[in-house]
Amino acid sequence: MLYHQENDKLRTKALEIRVTDHCNLRCDKCAHHSQYLPPYEFDINELKQNLDRLSKVLHSDRVTLIGGEPLLLPELNETINLVKESNIADMVCITTNGLLLNSLDIQFWELVDTVEISIYPCSFANIKKMLPMLYDSAWTGKTELRLIPVTEFKTVLLTEPIDDSEIIASVYNKCYYRYFCNTIIKGKFYKCEPSISIPALSEHLKHDAKKFGGFLDICSFDSPETLKKAVFDYLTDTTPLTACGYCLGTSGVSFPHKLLSKKEIKQPPHNAFNPDLIQKL
């Protein structure tokens, strides 16, 4: 079972904490829309409050710090340590493009359990040069190092809604993001990471972002039991979120990885739905 009770807590497979919105790369159709989003004011005290509450009712196999590019977070080591001390997960991981790993100290490697590096065609040469240092740091810190070649991106996010409720339901039912990308950001608990990025981009484009909702306010519940029930009901609800109308989940077609130019990044993104963007459902 993906969600079950264990030692009076809800057990999940994976949890993510989004610590940055922005990124040091400009990947076309990034599933986080990071190429368009500015930095947000990360509040480590707010995260501690959220973890204190959530860890009383939920435990995950792993928690992953994500972005944007999470290595851009100034309080990175403090945040990893905070997550580990919360005991909300068995292991703490970080997913990164790896380009800033040579700027981190050995404490980072001693704190984190797993570093997953997404290696893109544009970053391959730089990561290759860094490999001796990366292997040495990982060995010293007893850290698992995973190198993941990424030559293609899936089409995930749309700027215009899908107008077919059957397609939305089919995409939602097949989507693994809803099970493996439960995400914390700014005091809110989201079923999946794309449901954060869609309203964030809408706000950036000066559209109405309030219509999306679809999250739990972690600090709004008066007891651990009511929070645990709310999280369980939310995660097991089979009704697509409003944001699902702007998302192809894990059903989008793949295309070669591409970096946007500085000129292209200044143009508002436009990615309306059409049947060619989706795999056979």
Please write the tens of the pLDDT for every residue from 206-234. 556 567 778 999 999 999 999 999 999 99
Please state, as a whole number, how many other Cβ atoms lie within 10 Å of the Cβ of residue 2: 13
The pair of structure tokens assigned to 148 is 């993941």
More confidently predicted of 205 and 18: 18
- The pLDDT tens digits of the residues spanning 14-44 come to 999 999 999 999 999 888 888 888 788 799 9
∠ CA 40-73-115, nearest 5°, is: 130
Q: Count CA atoms within 13 Å of residue 98 on its CB side.
A: 27
Instruction: Provide CB contacts within 8 A for 59, sequence distance 6+.
Output: 6, 7, 9, 10, 11, 12, 87, 88, 89, 90
pLDDT of residue 274 exceeding 60, the answer is yes
Q: Of 197, 178, 264, give the one whose Cα is nearest residue 2.
A: 178
* pLDDT at site 69: 96
The pLDDT-based confidence of 244 (bands split at 50, 70, 90) is: very high
Q: Of 83, 88, 91, give the one whose Cα is nearest residue 58.
A: 88
**Both ends of the chain: CA-CA distance in Å?**
24
Domains and CATH numbers, the chain: 4-277 (3.20.20)
Q: Are 66 and 38 in contact (CB under 8 A)?
A: no
* pLDDT at site 214: 86
Quick one: how far is CA 45 from the chain centroid? 20
Question: Residue 270 and residue 29: Cα distance in Å, rounded?
Answer: 10
Question: Residue 241 and residue 103: Cα distance in Å, rounded?
Answer: 39
Average of per-residue pLDDT across 5-10: 90
For residue 68, is it left (φ>0), alpha (ψ between -120 and 50) or beta?
Answer: left
pLDDT of residue 204 exceeding 70, the answer is no
Whether omega for the bond prior to residue 252 falls within 30 degrees of 0, making it cis, is: no
Helices (H), 142-218: 165-174, 177-180, 194-204
The pair of structure tokens assigned to 147 is 């190198």
Strands 182-185 and 152-154, by their bridges, are: unpaired
Buried b (16+ CB within 10 A) or exposed e, 81-93: ebbbebebbeebb
Instruction: Note the pTM of the prediction, 2 decimals.
Output: 0.94
The pair of structure tokens assigned to 14 is 């994976």
